[in-house]
Structures are given as structure tokens and as C-alpha cells.
Amino acid sequence: MIPEYDAVIQRIAGTLLPGQRLALLGLKHPEKWPDWIIEVGIWLNKPFGVNREYESLQPWKPVQQHMNVLKFKEIYFGAAYICVGELPL
């Protein structure tokens, strides 16, 4: 995920036609997980660019600001999410 995700999501929302959707799938900081498990997960995913900074990224929030959220679901025991936003008709 790039640091300017808010601007990117806003730009994507501006190019979609009413009724079109944007779907996001990503990792998130799982609440109620022990820190050592999170550290192991970060270590395993380090080759893919995952680090502690990734925890602060919450791209579903700009989707909520710029679009109607149709679905937000945590998966893999809270370690990942699916977010689907749609431009209103």
C-alpha cells in the first residue's frame, strides 16, 4: 500500500461512474492478538513489504469518506479485511 492512499482512493472514486464499485483487500492490525504473533506475521510477510508502518494504514477509512460502503468484513481472525465501496446513484 502506498502512503498516499487517501489521495489515490479519492482519485479512483472521482473516476468511477455512479453505481460502480471499488473493492479493497488487505492486511490489518488484528485486535486482541498477542504482540509476538503479530511480530511473527510481520517477519513472515517482510518480503512483501509488510512492516510496523503497515499497521497504521487504514485504507477503508477514505472509502467511507468518498463512497458508500457496501461491505466491510474482517477475515482470517481479524488479520485481513475486505472493503467494498460504491458511488451513489
Distances (CA, A) of 10 to 4, 26, 39, 68: 10, 18, 32, 13
- How many angstroms separate the CA atoms of 12 and 6, rounded? 10
Residue in this structure with the C-alpha cell 486482541, named with its chain if needed: 32
pLDDT at 67: 92
pTM to 2 decimals? 0.80
| Residues of the chain with confidence (pLDDT) below 70 | 1-3
Q: Hey, where are the domains in the chain? A: 5-86
pLDDT at 6: 86
- Cα torsion for 15, 16, 22, 27, to the nearest 10°? 10
Segments of 4-67 assigned E as strands = 21-27
